[in-house]
């Protein structure tokens, strides 16, 4: 079953607890937490103290997306602060395999992320070692951007690579996803779908999420029927 992960980047930071409760109430099981350092990406978001506060108010799985240089310096800190899943960018380290080991040693699930300009082929060697691979469908750094269309092609390539390598990593996609394209990303094989502004920038976030869940479930039924 494809999961939708509400991304707190677009939430109302003065009312985070309320926003988390709103999406939990309609069945969200995972939250996406974006960390930006102003170096790897041209923006700064939130970090460890905010993650600790969110951890205290929810048992949902927290998926931390590190958009930072030298991710290896902060893995244990983020896991101690409450991250269940941690992803880092292929482009941000020369030692992806070591970072994956570090995340696993810290007892978290490990994900590797690729930017829009990075080909799926760079994942070939690392794929069997990770729990999930995240395809950025916008250039990381900001919410509310337009979905880059060739990300669908990358989803398809990732599916083929998983088949070829026997890797069981889940496929996550992040950026520019809303009611107009969620069915397509499910069709192309996304298991974990990050959605920020199409939930939290809407007047009724819970309703917006429910609508997306229904669309994703419909697309999944079609996938099953075609198999
Ligand atoms: C962007 C972040 C995303 C962001 C997505 O760099 O990684 O998680 O919140 O926001 P939307 O869904 O608005 O594109
Ligand atoms: Zn993200």
Give the model's pLDDT for residue 110.
99
Q: Is the CB of 6 under 6 A from ligand 1?
A: no
Q: Which of 142, 199, 208 to mutate to test the pocket of ligand 1 (most atoms within 8 A of CB)?
A: 142
Q: Which of 5, 87, 174 to mutate to test the pocket of ligand 1 (most atoms within 8 A of CB)?
A: 174
Give the model's pLDDT for residue 227.
76
Q: Give the number of the atom of ligand 1 that is nearest the alpha carbon of residue 43.
A: 6
Instruction: Check whether 187 has a pLDDT greater than 80.
Output: yes
Q: Which of 5, 9, 23, 41 to mutate to test the pocket of ligand 1 (most atoms within 8 A of CB)?
A: 9
Give the model's pLDDT for residue 156.
98
Mean pLDDT, residues 75-82 taken together: 98
| Domain enclosing residue 160, as ranges | 3-226
pTM higher than 0.75 for the full model? yes
Give the model's pLDDT for residue 226.
86
Q: Is the CB of 181 under 6 A from ligand 1?
A: no
Residues of the chain with pLDDT > 70, as a percent, come to: 100
pLDDT digits (tens, 9 = 90+) for 103-148: 999 999 999 999 999 999 999 999 999 999 999 999 999 999 999 9
- Tally of domains in the chain: 1
User: For the chain, what is the mean pLDDT?
Assistant: 98
Give the model's pLDDT for residue 1.
83
Q: Ligand 2 mean position to 98 CA, how many Å?
A: 22
What string of H, E and C letters represents the secondary structure of the chain?
A: CCEEEEEHHHCCHHHHHHHHHHHHHCCCCEEEEEEEECCCCCCECCCHHHHHHHHHHCCCEEEEEEECCCHHHCHHHHHHHCCCEEEEEHHHCCCHHHHHHHHHHCCCEEEEEECCCCCHHHHCCCHHHCCEEEEECCCCCCCCCCCCCCHHHHHHHHHHHHHHHCCCCEEEEECCCCCCCHHHHHHCCCCEEEECHHHHCCCCHHHHHHHHHHHHHHHHHHHHHHC
Instruction: Check whether 73 has a pLDDT greater than 80.
Output: yes
Give the model's pLDDT for residue 11.
98
Q: Give the number of the atom of ligand 1 that is nearest the alpha carbon of residue 201.
A: 13
Q: Ligand 1 mean position to 226 CA, how many Å?
A: 30
Mean pLDDT, residues 28-51 taken together: 98
Q: Give the number of the atom of ligand 1 that is nearest the alpha carbon of residue 36.
A: 6
Q: Which residues are catalytic?
A: 34, 174
Q: Ligand 2 mean position to 65 CA, how many Å?
A: 5
Q: Ligand 2 mean position to 34 CA, how many Å?
A: 5
The residue contributing the CA closest to ligand 1 atom 12 is 196
Q: Is the CB of 7 under 6 A from ligand 1?
A: yes
CATH code: domain of residue 16? 3.20.20.70
pLDDT digits (tens, 9 = 90+) for 199-227: 999 999 999 999 999 999 999 999 989 87
């Amino acid at each position: 079953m494809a999961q939708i992960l509400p991304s707190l980047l677009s939430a109302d930071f003065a009312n985070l607890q309320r926003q988390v409760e709103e999406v939990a109430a309609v069945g969200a099981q995972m939250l996406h937490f974006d960390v930006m350092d102003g170096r790897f990406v041209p923006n700064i978001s939130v970090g460890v103290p905010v993650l600790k506060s969110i951890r205290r108010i929810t048992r949902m799985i927290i998926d931390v997306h590190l958009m930072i240089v030298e991710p290896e310096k902060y893995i244990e800190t983020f896991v101690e602060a409450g991250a269940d899943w941690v992803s880092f960018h292929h482009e941000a380290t020369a030692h992806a395999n070591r970072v994956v080991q570090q995340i696993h040693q810290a007892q978290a699930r490990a994900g590797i992320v690729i930017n829009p300009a990075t080909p799926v082929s760079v994942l070939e060697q690392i794929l069997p070692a990770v729990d999930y691979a995240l395809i950025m469908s916008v250039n990381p750094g900001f919410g509310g951007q337009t979905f880059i269309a060739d990300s669908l092609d990358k989803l398809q390539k990732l599916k083929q690579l998983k088949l070829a390598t026997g890797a069981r990593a889940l496929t996550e996609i992040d950026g520019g996803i809303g009611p107009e394209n969620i069915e397509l990303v499910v069709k192309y094989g996304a298991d974990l779908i990050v959605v920020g502004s199409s939930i939290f920038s809407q007047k009724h976030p819970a309703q917006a999420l429910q609508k997306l869940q229904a669309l994703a479930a419909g697309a999944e039924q079609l996938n099953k029927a075609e198999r």
